Structure formats: C-alpha cells, structure tokens
Amino acid sequence: MDEKRTVRTSKFLSRVLRHDPGSIGVVLDEGGWVDVGELLAAAARAGRRFSRAELDHVVATNNKKRFAFSDDGLRIRASQGHSVEVDLGLAAVEPPSVLYHGTATTTLPVVLREGLKPMSRQDVHLSADLETAVRVGSRHGRPVVLVVDAAALSSDGHAFRLSANGVWLTDRVPPTHLRQHPG
C-alpha cells in the first residue's frame, strides 16, 4: 500500500469512525465499535474499496494510533476524537501534574478568556508532552502551547481518562487552570 493511499484511507476511516458512520451506512455500537467485515463492505459500496490487509496496514502504521482493533480482531474503532456519541469505556485515572494543549495563536484570546471546551468533540484533548502539543497546534496555524494545571483540575473534581493512543481526555479546562507556555 503506497503512502498516498494509506493517508487517504486513514482520513476516510477518521471521518467514518469518529464523525459520520452514517455516510457509508454503518452504525457504531455504544463503545464506538463496528464489525470489520461490515465496514469493508460498506466502504466498498460507497466507492472506497480496500482490503483487510490494507486496513491492518493503516491501523498498524498510523503514527497517531488513531484506530484500534478489538482483542479478537473482528471489530475496529477510533481511539478518541469522536463527535458522535460513544462511550469508550475508559476509566478515570490520575493525570500527571501538568498536561499540554496545542492551539493556534488566533484562538488564544478566546481560550484564555473561556477555557478549553470540547467544541464539536466529546472531550478536550490534552497531551503529556510539549512536542505533541506543538504538532497539534501547528495544524491550525501558528502554534501556541497552553500548560494545563492537571493536578489542580483533578483536585477540583475533574475526571481524566487516557485513550488507547495516549491522548488525555477531560470534559473542559477552565481558564483559571491554563497558562501560555513561554516557548
């Protein structure tokens, strides 16, 4: 599978498994899972034909580990980032004392005033390292990194969950628990 086809298939899977399963006629279960055979057949009917081997390749090589197979390999889901209602079944865990969020400089004034909100997604996405936050912020323009006082948020009763691909999830981050990274 060439790199261009891998990227196109990954973007297609992101759209279907995170945002619009109905666009190809599949239904995610409450945990966000869909049968692999059903996904492949529905994708083919929608004009996006790829094999199980190609699907395996996309899942295995995605640098963000966006997708996961069930233990038996018969179902697939997105690891996080859903705008459709799913329950990933992630238990609350104690976060590190500090987490990071990358955004664009154009959104900084609003974020510093209103805090971080999930917007069209179910959760606010945070990273444990500065480099990831810079990379995420770069997708939206000139990046800026916010430092999240996760320890204080947790003490205040905010729950944190850790997705299968290492993204920290929480419901929101008030502006009182944010500061701009000096870098």
Q: What is the pLDDT of residue 140?
A: 80
Q: What is the pLDDT of residue 141?
A: 86
Write down the pTM of the prediction. Answer: 0.84
State the number of CA atoms in the 13 A half-sphere of 4 facing the CB: 0
Residue 180, C-beta contacts closer than 8 angstroms, at least 6 positions apart: 108, 112, 144, 145, 146, 147
Q: What is the pLDDT of residue 1?
A: 82
CATH topology classification for 3-78: Arc Repressor Mutant, subunit A (1.10.10)
Say whether 7 sits in a helix, a strand or coil.
helix
Phi, psi dihedrals of residue 13, rounded to the nearest 5°? -60, -40
| Domain segments of the chain as ranges | 3-78, 98-180
Question: What's the pLDDT tens digit per position in 156-170?
Answer: 999 999 998 899 999
Structure token digits, residue 170: 């929480």
Say whether 168 sits in a helix, a strand or coil.
strand
Q: Is 98-180 CATH 3.20.20.80?
A: no
Mean pLDDT for back-to-back runs of 10 residues, the chain (183 residues): 94 97 97 98 97 97 92 96 93 97 93 94 94 91 95 97 94 97 87
